[in-house]
Structure 1
Amino acid sequence: MKHDHLSTLLTLKQCRVINAIMRKGSEQNASLALNLSQSSVSRALAQAEQTLQVSIFSRGWSGAELTADGEVVLATCTSILNAIADLERSLQDMAHSALTLKNHLEWRHLMVLEAVCRLGSASVAAEALGITQPAVSKTLKEVENMVRQPLFERMRHGLLPLSAAKQLAALFLRTLPIAQSLQQTLQSQPNELSGRLSVGMLSFSCQDIVPIAFASIFKQHPRIRLQAMQGPYHMLANALVQGEIDCFLGLLRTGPIHPDLIEIPLLHAQYALIARADHPIHHKATSLKDLTDERWIVARHGTPIREYFETLFHSIDNKPPIQAIEMLTFASSEELVIHSDAIALLFYDDWNITQLNPRLKQVPIKQPKPDCTIGITLHRDHQSPIIENFIAELKGTIKAKLA
């Protein structure tokens, strides 16, 4: 194999870089792990993407995230790097100091070593590879320094490969086809939706419909990488503007906080006062004023639920109760209500309120303007067939649920 044939492969350095970015979450952290400059890591990744003509990573919520093609590339890199690591552990038993194969081995080292093993001569190998004999000798010396032991025994009529050389040659013959098949594997991927769908969810929102929509997408489009994460509004809005997520769901505000964001209503809901089913408040309370001394479970400040909570008490010229427990998830709030004397202000769509946990009960007090809307927030310039598919699945899930 000539040197120029290796130009169509990922280099082993590029494999190490891709693996490190995946493990560490960013190019900066990968550069620290590999003891390389960040520019070197960035350049290696860019060259790998140019060689393969695919995007390997995209910017995500938690840093660099693999694309669908990146998953295929990583699988190849991991297979090759694991084989090198296994051989290094095997050879370590015969060395007196730490080996450096995992950090410095490249295809040219393996190619030269395999040719010398097969042909039994550095000069013949040099001729076969189209390089000079000094280049072969220099390469062999580099590998000897990595494995901390001799590779060949010099004989009268050539070079006799020792155990380490034979194992390295076998490694080359085993891993080269894996590297060579990567381009074909990428090109043979099915022509279907692929990429990332990263969905943010505001507290208390859409925990029941997003998993159903995800399951349907996963069944139809297995090459889409699905992600869901929860966070407060400003964090999710900023992540959406920065392209770290593709959309987020929850109670709609009076309008998005950024001019590039748009909102699509999906589902009507209502605020509801919820207490334990056997709570005495169900019998003694006739108005909001009867609730002023109760303990409350509410969402955090800055959320529509908290704003509505404060509006309730301002409507009766009362300050909102100070003693309140802030919860982040719908399930934890309901569970806390069941096991306490607290009252929760939550919101439910028409289906969920009829399916309320039997250990819970809605407090029968009329609330002013309880209507609210659950919807999805998008970036107006970052639409895609994947997001369109997700919205269609959400609408289908909601329709089936309400039916």
Structure 2
Amino acid sequence: MIAENLRHLRVFLAVAECGSVTQAAARCYVSQPAVTQAINKLETLSDRPLFQRSPQGFFPTEAGEILRRRAVRAFALIDPALAEIAPRLPRIATRPQLKALVATNETRNFTLAARVLGVSQPTVHRAIAQLEREAAQPLFRRSPQGVMPTRASTALARAARLAFAELAQAEAELGDLAGREVGRIVIGATPLARSHILPRAFAAFRANRPRLGIKVLDGPYSELLAGLRRGEVDFLVGALRDPVPVEDVVQEPLFEDRLVVLAGAEHPLLAAPPDVAQLAAWPWLVPRENTPTRVQFDAMFDAAGIARPESLIETGSVVLMREMVQDGRHLACVSRLQAMGEVSRGMVRALSIEVPGRSRPIGLTFRTDWQPTPAQSQLIAAMRAVEGAKASPP
């Protein structure tokens, strides 16, 4: 990995800023041969020259500018957290040490952290001990139950995750410049996105990017949001939150969606438009509590002054909803767009009742100040082109 050696990257930035090996060596407290060796190593790993050499100095190439921009952003994230612990840590902390700190923060156990990293337990313990020795303070509190990170350790781990994500973006962009597909795009997706937006966007994206890896994560919104904020997820797609859940993310609406009530093809409530009191008597499949869909579902009964249904199965799976609803003994509350496929194939039908409440904004969620790679930008453009708002209701 081009970003494996943080000290080499710092030397590279010094050369990019000074335009001189001599000045960079003085700034980084290393020899001129060490600077030359670091630059040569980075150029070998990137498979492209990072500098144009001339009598006037060193000037970043296109590849060098990509790496410079991403490295500046990475160190702007990590250096304040390092300096807060100890002033000299930004100069001496290594990537393996920081990876050990991140893994130990996540697992709260040296053995589990070693397993995550694929190294031995003494290696992790030694890396943490080296950081603590340089910091002149503990970064974890030991107990029989495990190790608990200090406040400073937690802040450093979060900064390191985001910095590593930024350097991974550099790897992807340099690969793109060389005509290679490097890395993968990680998306946190809600059920609606997985059934409606992603299939169409992926089909368009694959026409230009047939080999780039894509990973789609599902799970509760809170877990996906946490992964986004840690830098483990590139962006989220699905129902937006009002208000924005935290200050370090931004939301972009793509289109609006409404909710429908699904029933089996022979359900008795299909004979005439039902009222809310009739709906309350049936068993339901509904999303988890505190999701936008569930809030609207509960509000439908509250607004009518009718007790909410007691027989509920909480799920985000359209497949489970479809299978349960087809028997004619259950109802389901789900996104109109999410249910379009099942309705169009005649598997289920939508009741003639409108779930009250405004339409839900569906869109993208990013980290504030996140800068996508060209490949990520292409996939986002494909999602923006999905005409969800124009789809006719079932």
Task: Classify the TM-score, shorter chain.
Answer: 0.5 to 0.7
Closer, same or farther: CA 238–68 of 1 in aligned 2, 3 Å: closer
Residue 123 of structure 2 corresponds to residue 37 of structure 1 = yes
Question: TM-score, normalised on structure 1?
Answer: 0.54
Q: Note if 1:361 corresponds to 2:328.
A: no
1:213-228 aligned at under 5 Å gives the runs 213-222=201-210, 224-228=212-216
Where do 1:174-213 residues align within 5 Å? 190-191=178-179, 194-213=182-201
- Cα–Cα, structure 1 residues 339 and 187, in superposed 2: closer, same or farther, change >3 Å? closer
Aligned mates of 2:246, 2:378 — CA distance in 1: 24
Residue among 380, 384, 395 paired with 2:372: 384
Q: Report 1:3-402 matches (<5 A).
A: 28-29=114-115, 33-34=119-120, 36-38=122-124, 190-191=178-179, 194-222=182-210, 224-283=212-271, 286-349=274-337, 352=340, 356-369=344-357, 371-385=359-373, 386-398=375-387, 402=391
Q: Is the 8 A contact 2:272 2:352 kept in 1?
A: no
Report how far residue 239 of structure 1 moved.
1.0
Q: 1:384 to 1:204 in 2, by over 3 A?
A: closer
Q: Structure 1 residues 203, 351: closer, same or farther in 2, change over 3 A?
A: closer
> Which one has the largest radius of gyration?
1
Q: Is the 8 A contact 2:191 2:338 kept in 1?
A: no
- Tell me the CA shift for residue 333 of structure 1: 1.4
Q: How far apart, CA to CA, are the structure 2 residues paired with 1:227 and 1:31?
A: 20
Q: CA deviation at 1:252?
A: 1.5
Gap regions ≥5 residues in structure 2: 1-36, 46-98, 104-111, 129-159
Q: AA paired with 1:37?
A: T
1:190 Cα offset (Å): 2.8
Identity percentage over the alignment? 23
Uncovered stretches (5+) of structure 1, i.e. residues with no partner: 11-17, 43-57, 72-185
Distance 1:350 1:335, change over 3 A: closer
**CA distance in structure 2 between the aligned counterparts of 1:234 and 1:188, rounded to whole angstroms:** 32
TM-score normalised by the chain length of structure 2: 0.55
Count of equivalent residues: 259
Name the residue aligned to 1:52.
none
Distance in 2, Cα, partners of 1:362 & 1:189: 49
Within 2, Cα distance between the matches of 1:368 and 1:340?
24
Please give the alpha-carbon distance, in whole angstroms, between the structure 2 residues aligned to 1:39 and 1:212. 47
Which residue in the other structure is 2:53 paired with?
A: none
1:400–1:272 Cα change, 3 Å: closer
CA deviations 1:286-322 (Å, max 9, x no partner) are 3111211111110011111111111000011112112
- Partner of 1:226, secondary structure, is strand
Aligned CA-pair RMSD: 4.3
Q: Deviation per CA, 1:161-193, whole angstroms, max 9, x where unpaired?
A: xxxxxxxxxxxxxxxxxxxxxxxxx98983467
Q: Deviations over 1:324-383 (max 9, x none)?
A: 111221222122211341010011139938953313111112332352221111112112
Distance 1:401 1:318, change over 3 A: closer
Q: Secondary structure at the match of 1:331?
A: helix
Correspondence for 2:18 = none
